[in-house]
Chain A
């Protein structure tokens, strides 16, 4: 029996059966730098600051996100704006320390800080990993566009 099995190459054929089955299916492997996987809906990528529809900052610099942060990533500067309202001067997110837990997003009372789907942010210069207000607002515009598309 054993000998017969060996002579007929049944094991090999079994394996070849799976090969034959999957040969005509679409490939699963993603060629990463050339192809990308769209992240899931609640993916936590790098941060962004949303803007109000009229273009003003949504962030009121209440510092709650920074207070919540377990690894001291966020820092901000604030001042009194020209019309007597609180204005954000600078908002820094130090990605070298961030562990993407998302607690800052939970803490935000104005839904201003969000996490985008961007996961590729490696840099040659470590200073570029500290995001400032302009970078975050740029990301915020990207996020809001993405958000609108997602809802559609």
Chain B
């Protein structure tokens, strides 16, 4: 790109076409105070505090909206600018409550800082201060409108960047205030991502879990990686005296690939550390009851029971790479893991590319068109969905999505292909031919137009959401990898769990029915949550390593407490390469500490080989009259947070079965039948669910859902089912 020169405060600065004066000044270390401008948001020019003087312009102009032009001469420090700035800040401060001693933002408040640096020394205002006295309390977010300076950052963040449009301004002029559109966050469709709280320059939008709990400046700040899903977000954990007080993303400051965007799990799920169900001591079965034993005794029993025996290893995939390496060393390389579906997807991809691996997520930024395959990316990996959205609205990529169910991403996508689940592979095959052959006619206009928009472009592919849990995951993997391979494009397979990639790399993942060991070892998992539809195999001895009192504890012979993600140090193999975890918290128990005492089996690592086939996959799903069931955990679900976090449970939603409105006229209780298992559930007609599909939304996996899905592990999508009258 061609650059030109502008002069700011006598300093010659390099600018590019499209840059605003503020951006150029920021790059060159010239500070212009701002309120409504934020790096991640579209400029608005609402607060007028960034006024600068431009030579030749009759009036002062806002630097955040003024595009840099060649030979421009800007002054940011003249007496005129300073007076205007102080005037704006004086007007803002007139109606701002002086609650700094109790306000949670004080210490990191932009109004406080800017007021000190650029504000007037005293106010000339003699009138009574405006008191709106409107406090809107949501389950996790609170809006105190007295402190609001109406910069509209939260509205732009919610509406444009997150695509939710929950927040807005009610009333006009003097009485204007920020509110969710009908005064209720849950009803307004709030996802509780916490981005609005993060960008608020004053203490108007508050994190209710943190409200009045601590002072921002006195806490220890640790940058770590969130372990609650495959996005691998970098988060800042604030703690005081070894107790976590809050988690913040710091949008615009965060250096991770998530750029500071978080979801409800990462932002509010930290309180699982202080859950009442946290396990504190090892438990050993004596007779019918579990009794507390000390650590040495537990290790001794474990050592004795493991000696010379084969192990049924159940593994959850949010353990660190160091722990996984040690686990393989101690328990052997055969395991059942919740990454099994993802492993199938990767195996499909590897049969084309030859490597059980995925491209880095950032590779989508160097392409022009991003082809997204999968539904419910915003439920499984919410931040990835946000990043895909931002790639469109900030970086101008074209997004093309292929899936079955409508998604929030469709509002920014260039085109969306919604086909029934059993036709996804066929559609992909049409695209494989159509993308490279302009004369090809698939018989479907939509597919042809998508193929045309893929043709000759620099492509990248993203596979995620429920694809790893689809019955066809391996075949879909083959087909999409074939398309990516022909286009020479990077293919990103989004892992569902934080360290799924490492689990796939290290372990031989098997079906649960293939486990024939004598000792059950469950590490960090819950059967119903991580392995819906799997029963604990009968064994002589069952050892559970878990941070919580899980339902399986009652079946265990030995229970050993371990630490949680925020309490660990180590690394993840994530979507953006190696991600590191750090912590200042101390726990009396650690998984690595226990494993240290156990004898090593000395398993040599070998590279996994997947035979190269170089052929697209074959269709597996054939539907006649049955419905295809997709079981979908809500955004809060599928993690320990939906079970043990008090914050997150407040917004977890409820269980319901969504059916096409032509198949179900009105809400009623129905019986959902999968093979010969039945489940009574409230069914709701929903126009967005395509015909022939049923969508079971659950807030968490429980025993009845697990028994409904028996034998289907690891699949949650594409399961044949029937709806009967209750």
Q: Which A residues contact B (CB, under 8 angstroms)?
A: 60-64, 66-67, 78-81, 84-87, 109-110
Complex: A110 Cα to B99 Cα, angstroms:
12
Contact B101–A62 (Cβ < 8 Å) = yes
Docked complex: B197-213 residues within 8 A CB-CB of A: 211-213
Which among B135, B211, B215, B218 is the interface contact of A80 at CB below 8 angstroms? B211
- Does B102 sit at the interface, judged by CB under 8 A? yes
Which among A64, A78, A110 is the interface contact of B212 at CB below 8 angstroms? A78
Complex: A63 Cα to B102 Cα, angstroms:
9
Please, which residues of chain B bring their CB within 8 A of the CB of A81? 212
Which among B135, B211, B215 is the interface contact of A62 at CB below 8 angstroms? B215
Range for the number of chain B residues in contact with chain A: 10 to 19
Nearest B residue to A75, CB-CB: B241
Contact B102–A80 (Cβ < 8 Å) = no
Please, which residues of chain A bring their CB within 8 A of the CB of B220? none
Q: Give the shortest distance, in Å, between A62 (CB) and chain B (any CB).
A: 3
Please, which residues of chain B bring their CB within 8 A of the CB of A84? 135
Complex: A67 Cα to B102 Cα, angstroms:
15
Complex: A78 Cα to B212 Cα, angstroms:
6
Nearest A residue to B137, CB-CB: A84
Contact A87–B212 (Cβ < 8 Å) = yes
Complex: A84 Cα to B212 Cα, angstroms:
9
Q: Which B residues contact A (CB, under 8 angstroms)?
A: 100-102, 106, 135, 211-215, 217-218
Complex A-B, nearest 3 residue pairs according to Cβ-Cβ distance, in ascending order: A62-B101, A86-B212, A63-B215
Interface centre among B101, B106, B135, B217 (most CB of A within 10 A): B101
Interface centre among A66, A85, A86 (most CB of B within 10 A): A86
Contact B212–A63 (Cβ < 8 Å) = no
Q: Give the shortest distance, in Å, between A69 (CB) and chain B (any CB).
A: 12
Q: Give the shortest distance, in Å, between B596 (CB) and chain A (any CB).
A: 36
Q: Give the shortest distance, in Å, between B246 (CB) and chain A (any CB).
A: 13
Contact A78–B214 (Cβ < 8 Å) = yes
Please, which residues of chain A bring their CB within 8 A of the CB of B214? 78
Contact B101–A79 (Cβ < 8 Å) = no
Nearest B residue to A80, CB-CB: B212
Q: List 17 extra interface pairs beyond A62-B101, A64-B101, CB under 8 A.
A: A60-B101, A60-B102, A62-B106, A63-B215, A63-B218, A66-B218, A67-B217, A67-B218, A78-B212, A78-B214, A79-B212, A79-B213, A80-B213, A81-B212, A86-B212, A87-B212, A110-B101
Q: Give the shortest distance, in Å, between B689 (CB) and chain A (any CB).
A: 41
Q: Give the shortest distance, in Å, between A34 (CB) and chain B (any CB).
A: 44
Contact B101–A109 (Cβ < 8 Å) = yes
Interface centre among A78, A79, A80, A85 (most CB of B within 10 A): A80
9 examples of A-B residue contacts, CB within 8 angstroms: A60-B101, A62-B102, A62-B106, A64-B101, A78-B214, A80-B213, A85-B212, A86-B102, A87-B212
Q: Give the shortest distance, in Å, between A146 (CB) and chain B (any CB).
A: 26
Q: Give the shortest distance, in Å, between A88 (CB) and chain B (any CB).
A: 10
Please, which residues of chain A bring their CB within 8 A of the CB of B106? 62
Complex: A87 Cα to B215 Cα, angstroms:
13
